[in-house]
Amino acid sequence: MERTTVLMDQHKWFIRTQDGLWDILTSHVGATVPELFLSDRKLGVECSRSKLMKLFQDSEKLMHLYNMLTNRTFFLTYLKALFLDQTNDLYDTLHEIVKEKLPDLEKDEHAVSMMHFYVHMCKYTGFEHDLLMYLLDVLASIFIATNYERKFFVMKGETSNGKSKLFEILGRVFGGYYHCIQSDNLKPGNSSTAATPDLASTLFNCRIVTTEELEGKVNENRVKQITGNSCVVFRNMYEPSQGGIPTAKLFTTTNNLPDCRATEAFQDRVTAIPFVSKFVNKPPTSTSEQVRLNRYGKGEYVVEKSYIGCFLMLVYHLKTYINVRDGLLHYRDEPPIVVEYTKLYLFNTDVYNQFKTHMDVQVNMNTMTTMTDLRSAVRQFLKNTKN
């Protein structure tokens, strides 16, 4: 079968908007799209060229708000105000603090959206400032069309902790550059030549590819291929194979542990980010109790209120930390909570370690375990973990 090689989008720093082309290195939004620009996908934020240019280049007040929100001293001030129960709502507390420092932005719709997104990010990260800044690094780097850090991001946590809502916001921001695929694409298949239309149609022109509920056996070689920042080959249905370097970064959200050998190359790629908060219908009434217990109320219109703020926070973060020499945003060192959580996650991907942990396997001298006991324990383990 004839193999074709897709001419990769060399404009790693170009993104199509509703009526132009945004150069993220210069913040210029052009009116025309280069002839060889292959992707016909567009950004999800529906703003005109003139409005985007104003937000990118003539927005000193919004940029000042971003700098204030990401400052550690301000973060601790906000956290102290929450523990002192200055108001009964996390957003209202932040709004009061910002109003004192930047009164001109009190009713600015973009500033309000940025504050909404900031509050959600604080909840998702359990008010860990280092984790918050690292996650902003990761999310802002999505704009750049290459997985240069060779990472596979796993958002892990129990149910109702904000993982899916965060990706709903990202889907609204990135629009056509965002795509969700079935987790079966990362599981062992019958043949490496089988058609994989989800991967073939998204890896070469999207900026972010996500999967939901990754569990069971994982094809480590497939993950290493996708995240290796090198040429890979996939095939659409009834079409010849096509190759190229993926432009998308790979994320997965899961409540479960997959089954894999976790080789050294796979371990180097995996970064597990914990989501420890819980969103409930009846949260504690005081902000201090909400923060202390990590229990928050389920808000309404979360995506609508915060997706513009998400876009602006990521743009300003990228503008602040991008390396102008190579055009990349290099991630800061992983915070200790991420390092420890990733080690624990990778340890538990081994099915035997899962069994030992779940069944509390111990070594007792002068005792004998029968095959019946062992079979019963394995059946109970498989039933409870549903793997």
Tokens encoding 19? 């009526």
Q: What is the pLDDT at residue 116?
A: 95
> What is the length of the chain?
387
Q: What is the pLDDT at residue 35?
A: 61
Q: What is the pLDDT at residue 383?
A: 59
Residue type, 191: S
The CA-based diameter of the chain, rounded to the nearest angstrom, is 80
Q: Is the dihedral of CA 139, 269, 175, 303 positive or negative?
A: negative
Q: What is the pLDDT at residue 163?
A: 87
Q: What is the pLDDT at residue 120?
A: 94
Each domain of the chain, given as residue ranges in start order, spans 51-344, 357-385
Residue type, 102: L
Cβ proximity of 79 and 127 under 8 Å: yes
- Whole-prediction pTM: 0.85
Phi-psi region of 126 (alpha: psi -120 to 50; beta: other; left: phi over 0): left
Q: What is the pLDDT at residue 350?
A: 64
Residue recorded with tokens 């079409």? 239
Q: What is the pLDDT at residue 358?
A: 52
The number of angstroms, rounded, from the C-alpha of 204 to the middle of its chain's C-alpha atoms is: 19
Between the alpha carbon of residue 136 and those of residues 116, 118, 124, 179, 385, the distances in Å are 15, 10, 12, 20, 33
Residue recorded with tokens 């906000």? 78
Q: What is the pLDDT at residue 6?
A: 46
- Average pLDDT, consecutive stretches of 10 residues, N- to C-terminus, the chain (387 residues): 45 83 83 67 85 83 94 95 92 93 87 95 93 95 89 86 90 91 75 67 82 78 80 75 80 77 79 89 91 89 91 94 88 92 78 56 61 66 58
Which residue stretches of 70-207 are H helix? 72-83, 90-101, 109-124, 129-140, 163-174, 197-202
CB-based contacts of 1, cutoff 8 Å, min separation 6: 240, 241
Nearest-angstrom CA–CA distance, 272 and 151: 10
Q: What is the pLDDT at residue 368?
A: 62
Determine phi and psi for 336, rounding to 5 degrees: -55, -35
Nearest-angstrom CA–CA distance, 97 and 88: 14
Nearest-angstrom CA–CA distance, 326 and 24: 13
